[in-house]
Structure 1
Amino acid sequence: MRDTTLGGRLFRGAAVTLLVAFTALPLYWLLVSSLKPDSQLGDTSLIPTSITLANYGAAFDTLIPRWMLNTLGISLLTTVLGLAVAALAAFGFARYRFRGRTVLFALVLASLAIPEYATVIPQFTIMREIGLLNTWAAVVLPLAANALVLFLLRQYFSQLPEELFDAARLDGCGEFRVFWRVALPLVRPGLGAAGLLLFLNAWNAYLLPLVMLTDSSQFTMPVGLAFLHSQLNFSVVQQSPWGAITAGTVISTAPLLLCLLIMQRQFIKGLTTGAVKA
Structure 2
Amino acid sequence: MKKYLTVLFTALLALLTFPAAPAPAAQKSAVPRIEPQAALGAYMGLVEEHFASILRTTRALAQTKEAQSGKWESVKPALMSFSRDLPTDATVWYAMPDGSYCSTESGGLTDQNLKDRAYFPRLLAAQDVEGDLVISKSTGHRSVIVASPVTREDRVVAVIGVSVRVHLLSDLVSAHMKLPDNTYFYALDKNAKIVLHRYADRLFKNVDDVADESLGEEFRVVMDKEEGVFDYKLKGRKMNSIFQKSVPLGWYFFIAQEKK
| Structure with a larger share of its residues in strand | 2
| Structure with a larger share of its residues in helix | 1
TM-score (norm 2): 0.31
TM-score (norm 1): 0.29
Question: Higher Cα Rg: structure 1 or 2?
Answer: 1
